[in-house]
Structure 1
Amino acid sequence: MEEDAQHHRRLAEEWEELVTKIRDIPGFGDFLRPKKLAQLCRAADAGPVVVVNVHKHRCDALVLVAGLDDVMHIPLSKFSYENALTLHQSLNQLLQAAQVRARDTRLELRRVQVKATTDVGFPSILSNLWSSVVEPVLDGLAITASFTEDLPHIWWCATGPLAFLPIHAAGIYNNGVVRYDISDYVVSSYTPTLNALINAGKYHSTRQTFRGLLAVSQPNTPGYLELPNTTEELVRIRQRAHDFTVHELKGPAALIKSVVEGMNTHSWVHLACHAVQDPIEPTKSALCLYDGHLELSTIITKSFPHADFAFLSACQTATGDEKLSEEAIHLAAGLMLAGYSSVIATIWSIMDKDGPIIADHVYSELFSDTVPDSTKAALALHHAVKALRQKVGDSAFLSWVPFIHVGV
């Protein structure tokens, strides 16, 4: 026992010496130390960042606002861990009934069959999120409804069971009448962590030159159902891109090696394909290409030199692992880790016919200026979802709610 204790002390001393040496290196003075508030506040440079702390004892919104030297504390007295858990379980039941686990041409029939359930279930979930989480935050920030184009941009960083709930769609929807709708107040984005948002801002500031869009379409992936509208997505993108460079990889040409090489040379990537979420080993979640799976574990080991914007027009690309709710382990977060500062993704499967509508409106805005700007992605998605809602109806929650924006 004495030898073990001495060995432990020697290791502890060696640890302290190594950490001290590292902290003496310029730029590493805070190595393994908690980040200072001044550093974290940089996450709010583009707009308020709301960290919602969901704990068994109490729930609070901790808000970072540019120019504010302290954290704004907004108690969420109407919300609780149990409430978040119940809402998450209710949402899961709705999604399981609708079988929204893969982008599929047959989903429309399934969703018609469960429409009565979703018409009741979704409004209940979204109204609870509105009254207990979103409304107190908007009131605390003095943000009121505005029907102009110039809406504030807000980032949500949720914890616990709340991380699986669609805060960006919160509102009160009764019998087809929308009384309150978060999209009338703010443009919503998400971030897995404050540091991810800070790093995304750094990435974008150093990679502002547009170096072309890699557009991948998989209408016939071996072993998976057909997705004919992924071809239509590429047609829409090509029409909107005008004279900007778009490199297409379709069907058999969309091989893992080709896609990775394309991501290395292009700054934007659009992936219209199947995707799989692995709840047991989240790093094995993958995009389904013609010759196999491009896994998250492969993506996060890459450093794409020009990475800027990614559009994941697939299923469950921003769905995390329920057992690791405090850890952002999904394809969208993986692309951010690989250097993409702005990502459009989905929290459950989308209808195949909805993909081209969203892509058309998004790229219409992103390619509207002389220089494509990925920081407009959140607003472009905001407008695209509004357009989809006008087409399918506000109560078609399974169609429009899954689309989200992550990053700057």
Structure 2
Amino acid sequence: MGRGEAFIEYFVGQNDIYVFVITHRDFEVLAFDKDFPLEQWVVGLRDAVGQFQFSSSNRDSLCQVYNQLGYGLYQKLMAPLEALGLPEHLTIVPSGVLGFLPFDALLTAPPPAGCNFSGYSYLVQRYDISYGYSATLQAALLGRPTANLDFAGFAPAFQSGPFPELQYNASLLEAVKSITGGALFLGPDATAEKLRAAAAQYGLFHFATHAEANTEEGDFSFIVFSNGQGGYDSLFVKDIYLLPLQAEMAVLSACETSVGTVYQGEGIISLARAFLYAGANSVITTLWPINDAANEALMKSFYAYLKKGHTKSEALRLAKLQQIGQGGRLNAHPAYWAAFEPIGNMRAVYPKSWWLLAVGLGGGVFLLGILMFRRMGKKAG
């Protein structure tokens, strides 16, 4: 555990909540009464936030639910920990239903009247938060070597059938490729077979597609690919476990990729967890269906910050803060940014030395051009 970092693991019992807080110099155990309907509050907050972007008639009521539960859950789950003096970088291992909670969106102060979400005080403004499924898995992920950084993006086309069209998924990946380089598998080329063939060849994956969570049987959650013939093919959790991944990061910008069945002591059986076990060092995943346009904007910012040398969680946090700062009264709402959660090894994909070198080389070329221009001007004179 490095300086400026804390590892926080929750355990939810029948009547109590226990929290283990580990920093580079301290180990604390906190216990407090579960004197509130935890599951009802967590599910209520997640639903109120996730539904806001697709609702126009009951936004005021959804706002009020979020206001109450966002601040209430902060007071119950985070305020007692802050009395310890938490560092900026937090790795949270949730327990049970807490796996469905977007900690970033908790409210650190009572929200002002009027549902002006750009003026809210969010936990993401205080902390850089990432997640783990267990201390054992987190330790294993931190011990894995860095994978190659070749990028592969998958974006099936949805023009008919049971899944709605994703208007921006191909353009998003084209924008990402302009930042990272790599290969794109678009439309009919975005097949599960192409993924199986690419699994061991690429180190950065982005899936801009549909997914469906099975909350009764997490192993039956699936992510959607093209079948290459105008139809669709589903890759289930059990199939993902068999992929020979050697990936530094997999981004799952699809609906509800972090949702699945809760098994006490094991975390959530989900698509995200399957990618980690298949060989991904980290996963960026989602807690609820995402607005297609908001997804594109946030992901473009995320990759831009990633390329500058920020860690994965820092890059995602900066993209979220940018959305809050620029979103205005309504689009700063957490529905448009808090669904994304970073899980696993958060080390930087592109070292900051690379970014500084690129900037330095660019500046050097610019200065060299000025000197040559001046010299040519003197000769002409």
For the pair 1:354 / 2:294, whether they are aligned, the reply is yes
Q: Paired residue for 1:75, among 22, 28, 31? A: 31
Q: Paired residue for 2:335, among 393, 398, 406? A: 398
For the pair 1:309 / 2:249, whether they are aligned, the reply is yes
CA contact (8 A) 2:18 2:29 kept: yes
Change (3 A) 1:170 1:227: same
CA contact (8 A) 1:236 1:356 kept: no
Q: Which amino acid aligns with 1:348?
A: W
For the pair 1:232 / 2:171, whether they are aligned, the reply is yes
For the pair 1:54 / 2:54, whether they are aligned, the reply is no
Q: Which amino acid aligns with 1:133?
A: L
Q: Paired residue for 2:218, among 282, 293, 317? A: 282
What's the CA shift for 1:181? Answer: 2.5
For the pair 1:202 / 2:143, whether they are aligned, the reply is yes
Determine helix, strand or coil for the equivalent of 1:264. coil
Q: What is the CA–CA distance in structure 1 between the aligned matches of 2:222 and 2:159, rounded to whole Å?
A: 14
Note the alpha carbon deviations across 1:297-356, whole angstroms, 9 max, x for none.
11112332x211011111101113257685321111111111211211110011010111
Residue pairs, 1:154-193, within 5 angstroms: 154-171=90-107, 172=109, 173-175=111-113, 176=116, 178=119, 180-193=121-134
Counterpart for residue 234 of structure 2: 293
Q: Paired residue for 1:64, among 16, 19, 22? A: 22
Determine helix, strand or coil for the equivalent of 1:298. helix
TM-score after normalising by structure 2: 0.80
RMSD (Å), alpha carbons: 2.4
For the pair 1:214 / 2:152, whether they are aligned, the reply is yes
Q: What is the CA–CA distance in structure 1 between the aligned matches of 2:157 and 2:82, rounded to whole Å?
A: 42
For the pair 1:88 / 2:32, whether they are aligned, the reply is no
Change (3 A) 1:183 1:46: same
Counterpart for residue 74 of structure 2: 130
Determine helix, strand or coil for the equivalent of 1:66. coil
Counterpart for residue 85 of structure 2: 141
Note the alpha carbon deviations across 1:218-257, whole angstroms, 9 max, x for none.
232652111011022112212222xxx4110001001110
Residue pairs, 1:307-386, within 5 angstroms: 307-321=247-261, 326-368=266-308, 376-386=311-321
Structure 2 regions of 5+ residues with no counterpart? 228-232, 346-381
Change (3 A) 1:94 1:368: closer
Alignment length (residue pairs)? 332
CA contact (8 A) 2:43 2:100 kept: no
Q: What is the CA–CA distance in structure 2 between the aligned matches of 1:254 and 1:285, rounded to whole Å?
A: 19
Q: What is the CA–CA distance in structure 1 between the aligned matches of 2:154 and 2:45, rounded to whole Å?
A: 31
What's the CA shift for 1:87? Answer: 0.2
Q: Which amino acid aligns with 1:119?
A: C
Q: What is the CA–CA distance in structure 1 between the aligned matches of 2:138 and 2:4, rounded to whole Å?
A: 10
Q: What is the CA–CA distance in structure 2 between the aligned matches of 1:163 and 1:308, rounded to whole Å?
A: 23
Determine helix, strand or coil for the equivalent of 1:353. helix
Determine helix, strand or coil for the equivalent of 1:318. coil
Which 4+ residue blocks in structure 1 deviate beyond 6 angstroms? none
Q: Which amino acid aligns with 2:5?
A: G
Note the alpha carbon deviations across 1:248-297, whole angstroms, 9 max, x for none.
00010011100121222100100000001122321121110012011111
Note the alpha carbon deviations across 1:146-195, whole angstroms, 9 max, x for none.
xxxxxx21011111322222222211333337464212321011111111
Q: What is the CA–CA distance in structure 1 between the aligned matches of 2:36 and 2:244, rounded to whole Å?
A: 40
Counterpart for residue 230 of structure 2: none
Counterpart for residue 32 of structure 1: none
Change (3 A) 1:54 1:278: same
CA contact (8 A) 1:51 1:157 kept: yes
CA contact (8 A) 2:222 2:237 kept: yes
Change (3 A) 1:89 1:207: closer
Q: What is the CA–CA distance in structure 2 between the aligned matches of 1:247 and 1:88, rounded to whole Å?
A: 39
Q: What is the CA–CA distance in structure 2 between the aligned matches of 1:254 and 1:355, rounded to whole Å?
A: 19
Note the alpha carbon deviations across 1:39-93, whole angstroms, 9 max, x for none.
xxx6x7882111112212211211122244xx3112335xx16431220342365
Q: What is the CA–CA distance in structure 1 between the aligned matches of 2:146 and 2:28, rounded to whole Å?
A: 32
Change (3 A) 1:222 1:259: farther
